[in-house]
Chain A
């Protein structure tokens, strides 16, 4: 490269610079896209080390039992079995957990759900490891399981955990609890247990370093949090536990909690050999947390003109055996209980309890999904009673910037709720179902059971919203490092790429801010860079995108000073533009940061924090949230009213995205999130009987196939949020929140049945 001193400064361009590929707003291909489509991207389950052993986990078959003894000697006697460990072999803190450490690494004296880890083994072959599990002898004394969330609230019910049966109760009171109005509608609603059903199984490879420390490659959502929990359980200093991101085959919340992290490390440290663990699908179904089942009683009060006066809600979530993120999920459910509407008076009681069901925690939408199903059913009931069009009723009550939320927090960010509703309603409706349709166009599809004459069409509408980033005073900051050298920007950030496409966005931000064509990503681990926070809560574009942008600006600032010095200018006369140039006030200097930097490497590290939020007070009041995102969905369904079969025909949506950074990836998040919302509406439920998961397979737990997915019409509402570093809001969760409620509303409209529970099963409709 030419020395900067010899580079002629350019005249101010007379025309806009030609568009450069891969900038913010373009749709460059994912940097991991080609290896993924060639089959050479290393997912965590693809990892291999010479001489590695296979680890497996022995799990409780009982929902509640005392563990009298665990005898691993028969397993150790099998040829090929290298190691078998129990609770007594955990050297450090025997418990783990994201918010409170309440879950045993391995059960010591009690098991509290079917699937709880009791012992772990390592062997030379997966089949040997499986046989070893069968050889372990556990003496259980069975206890009565607590499997009903309502029973958990009863004062006489024995606590199933030393921390008690109530994980958290939120008592939210806003305005006048006694307020009355012209009309009242009420209802009780339920949401079943949904599984994230990511395709890439929980998996990881632990390699001991021979010096007491360990390297773990694992599929996770938050490397640094895992690192801290694993180190505590292993009783090792954090620097001796190095986590590296193994390729992640989807997450959706299910990888926020630890699964095999500690187990793989224990086995590797004990054997001195690399240990790989990879859950089969049936184990995966009990190896991670799920979306909380909910029972919600609502009462809405409104004026005759349709103005909401008061919302009362009583919400009960089944958190299962351990706390996971229940503490935060129930708070979301309480804060968001009334939906994206102006509600001057609110009375919300939300409780999450412990039961002997599988533990529940994070899943896309995180508490907002459940309450959205309820508050949107209530809005439709209200519209019906008042004789007001359901869309107009929502517009009439829609939140806007400056409104006060039920927590007392004033909405300061962008809130294009009306725009989302209007744009959703403006999408064209699908053609009517043909008189003689193809079988796949009918409910029941290739099953060929539907009778065209008995197929009714329905249209439903729903609006939802959710907080972005972590809430209630938590500082989920993100760190990024950017190094600019010979025109190439290297971005290091510990974001867990789980499929969402942060790897693409990071490069776009760096190319745009530094005016370079090449951006590459450094390794994703806990070694070279600080925490990026979790890939959850729709937060990485805002938080880690913000950190990358800050680091780029710091690089640009260094280059600006160096350039000014070389050119003999006052640095104050040069400014860094949003498109990555350094421009002088008089227009004589106009270079990209990359050009101006020349051959000397420039590096900067930056940490992005969002504004400090506050805890809720005893009445659920407080400025708990950073920002909110909104979306509306309209669903069109066909229902065979005799068989109760549903086909979702079309979903139209408009979503508050702030600013589109990558149009194709935004659309991918919208379509993918809607698929999970449709799944919850009509097919996805973990069936739990007496604490036992009855359908832990893709044969029996159904997720939407390509044949199940409706046409999706999507509009992005772009009102850049001034608080967001790039103006963009996280887009991952909104599509999943109100799509379920819209489908349920459409089913009600199609067949006149009061759908009060999702997923809707055929027997609910006939």
Chain B
């Protein structure tokens, strides 16, 4: 009977550049999402899996600089791309646990933007992307840019406060 059942198709090995480090992905099945490969094959569970249909933003990563939901991206389609996950925000090759934080990460913690924390990695990535593009966003621009990231705990108030703190901090560093 087993012979009648096709074994799951396995993709050819491919490479991803994740947080500045080239990683080989072996044995992945065809159809595995970038999120699954990051979390289950590359040991990077920082990107989260709240909906796995592109609605919640908890899996937000950068692929060649673009903000994407890793759950909707086929892992094989990202072969050769530069992927940045929450684990890599604090610097290329940063080791998880070395305590390094970006200003956005520090502000999220200090302002109370983190409660259960499940949305936090996605927010951190998305806020970095927003501020890279719009260093001084208006409140409505913040709301529009982050409307794809759901948070169920905070009501977003302390997340907005964290962003204001980052924008203020960066302005002090680089007055213009």
Is B50 touching A36 in the complex (CB atoms < 8 A)?
no
Q: Which of A125, A699, A706 has the most CB atoms of chain B within a 10 A radius of its CB?
A: A706
Interchain Cβ contacts within 8 Å, total number: 203
- Chain A residues, Cβ within 8 Å of B105: 34, 37-38
Q: Are B153 and A499 in contact (CB under 8 A)?
A: yes
Per-residue CB proximity of B67-104 to A under 8 Å, as 1/0?
00000000000000000011100100000110101000
User: Are B157 and A697 in touch, CB under 8 angstroms?
Assistant: no
Contacts of A126 in B (CB 8 A): 36
Shortest Cβ distance from B96 into chain A, in angstroms?
4
Partner of A200, one of B7, B118, B144: B118
Contact B154 A199 (CB under 8 A): no
Query: Would A199 and B119 be within 8 Å (CB), given that A77-B5, A706-B147 are in contact?
Result: yes
Taking CB atoms, residues of chain A closer than 8 Å to B150 are 199, 698, 703, 705
Q: Is A465 in the interface zone, CB < 8 Å from B?
A: no
Contact with B along A211-247 (1 / 0, CB 8 A): 0000000000000000000000000000000000001
A37 and B124 form a contact (CB under 8 A): yes
**Do B49 and A34 touch (CB < 8 A)?**
no
With both chains docked as a complex, state the minimum distance between the C-beta of A489 and any C-beta of chain B, in angstroms.
Answer: 22
Q: Chain B residue with minimal CB distance to A709?
A: B156
User: Using Cβ atoms and an 8 Å threshold, which residues of chain A touch B1?
Assistant: 77
Chain A's interface: helix, strand, loop or mixed, by majority? loop
Among candidates B44, B51, B101, residue contacting A37 with C-beta atoms closer than 8 Å? B101
The count of chain A contact residues (Cβ–Cβ below 8 Å) is 69
In the bound complex, what is the Cα–Cα distance between A676 and B144 (angstroms)? 20
Instruction: Give the distance in Å from the alpha carbon of A22 to the alpha carbon of B33 in the complex.
Output: 42
Contact at B114–A39, with CB atoms within 8 Å?
A: no
Contact between chains at B46 and A39 (CB < 8 Å): yes
With a CB–CB cut-off of 8 A, which chain B residues contact A501? 115
Question: Closest A-chain residue to B88, C-beta based?
Answer: A39
Contact A36 B114, beta carbon cutoff 8 Å: yes
- Per-residue B-contact encoding for A424-455, CB less than 8 Å = 1, 0 else: 00000000000000101100001000000000
CB distance from B102 to the nearest CB of A (A): 9
The answer to whether A640 has its CB under 8 Å from any CB of chain B is no
Beyond A40-B46, A77-B2, A671-B155, is A34–B117 a contact (Cβ under 8 Å)? no
Evaluate contact between B45 and A78: CB separation under 8 angstroms.
Answer: no
Q: Are the CB atoms of A29 and B140 closer together than 8 Å? A: no
A709 and B157 contacting across the interface, CB-CB below 8 Å: yes
> How many Å from the CB of B163 to the closest CB on chain A?
10
B86 touches A38 (CB 8 A): yes
CB interface residues, A 278-297, toward B, < 8 Å: 278, 280-281
Contact in complex: B7, A39 (CB < 8 Å):
no
Cβ-defined contact, A37 with B160, below 8 A: no
Q: Is the CB of A249 within 8 A of B2?
A: no
A85 to chain B, nearest CB (A): 20
Also in contact, A707 and B96, with CB within 8 A (given A697-B51, A698-B51): no
Show the binding face of B for A, using Cβ within 8 Å: 1-2, 5, 7-8, 29, 31, 36, 39-40, 43-53, 55-56, 58, 85-87, 90, 96-97, 99, 101, 105, 108-112, 114-121, 124, 140, 142-144, 146-160
Given A38-B96, A43-B117, A499-B117: 18 more A-B contacts, CB < 8 Å: A34-B105, A37-B114, A37-B124, A38-B87, A39-B45, A43-B45, A126-B36, A199-B50, A249-B50, A250-B118, A281-B51, A441-B140, A446-B147, A499-B116, A668-B112, A671-B154, A673-B155, A698-B150
Chain A positions within 8 Å of B, measured between CB atoms, are 27, 29-30, 32-34, 36-43, 45-46, 48, 77-80, 125-128, 196-201, 247-252, 278, 280-281, 438, 440-441, 446, 498-501, 664-665, 667-668, 670-676, 697-699, 703-707, 709, 712
